[in-house]
A and B are shown apart, each in its own frame.
Chain A
Amino acid sequence: EPEVTQTPSHQVTQMGQEVILRCVPISNHLYFYWYRQILGQKVEFLVSFYNNEISEKSEIFDDQFSVERPDGSNFTLKIRSTKLEDSAMYFCASNAVGGGLSYNEQFFGPGTRLTVL
């Protein structure tokens, strides 16, 4: 069964360092998402991506964050200068069809746990 994969599973970094979190969405999917979950809190939407551009982003997704689909399979989240409060589990998700009344299921990756020291 096709699945979303994420690497690494755990990333430890020093404050101020850049990190890149990687995701491989399901191959025929067109919409991609990043969510994050700070320990003990609910999952929060960061950004959605379609047709090689950001389609929506939350207030959390400031200039420190960027996303990219560098090739036909990978979808990356970059944090330029990590802060302590960026420590969280980051989930990638994808689905086949877009918004409005489309009911396509969103598939989640296993997550990358980012720890900023």
Chain B
Amino acid sequence: KNEVEQSPQNLTAQEGEFITINCSYSVGISALHWLQQHPGGGIVSLFMLSSGKKKHGRLIATINIQEKHSSLHITASHPRDSAVYICAARNYGGATNKLIFGTGTLLAVQP
């Protein structure tokens, strides 16, 4: 069983739609990361959160520690949002900050 699960695996949306990507984890965490990976392969950190909610532009990330669940929302989606979105958990109590990655959600936003 994967320690970090994401859904959906693939998502196609029309420009302007509200998008939600979900992440569930089974390990104790000190933080949950949302990352974006573009077709060229590079990884960009979007959010790091341990409780509540964070917002940056059209992106919103929430986390429910009790339910071990996090969501990434994109409002007013745009074709340039097309990418793979990955959640990654930082294991609580670990010796390091190593991240445990989900399998990613491939998002395609059509004009």
State the A residues within 8 Å of B (CB). 31, 33, 35, 37, 41-45, 48, 50, 55-56, 89, 91, 95, 98-108, 110-111, 113
Residue interface bits B77-110, CB-to-A below 8 A is 1, else 0: 0000000001010000111111111111000000
A residues in contact with B35, CB < 8 Å = 108
On whether the beta carbons of A103 and B100 are closer than 8 Å, the reply is no
A50 to B95, CA, bound (A): 10
B residues in contact with A44, CB < 8 Å = 101
A residues in contact with B97, CB < 8 Å = 31, 33, 48, 95, 98-99, 102, 104, 106
B residues in contact with A37, CB < 8 Å = 41
Interface membership of B45, Cβ < 8 A:
yes
Give the total number of A-B pairs whose CB atoms are below 8 A apart. 77
Q: How many residues of B contact A (CB 8 A)?
A: 26
In chain A, what residue has the closest Cβ to B91?
Answer: A99
In chain A, what residue has the closest Cβ to B98?
Answer: A45
Interface membership of B19, Cβ < 8 A:
no
Which among B33, B41, B45, B88 is the interface contact of A111 at CB below 8 angstroms?
B41
How near does chain A come to B82, taking the closest CB pair, in angstroms?
18
Given the interface pairs A43-B86, A103-B48, the reply to whether A56 lies near B41 with Cβ below 8 Å is: no
Interface membership of B31, Cβ < 8 A:
yes
Given the interface pairs A33-B98, A45-B100, A99-B96, the reply to whether A106 lies near B30 with Cβ below 8 Å is: no
A residues in contact with B40, CB < 8 Å = 110
Which among A42, A56, A101 is the interface contact of B101 at CB below 8 angstroms?
A42
Interface membership of B43, Cβ < 8 A:
yes
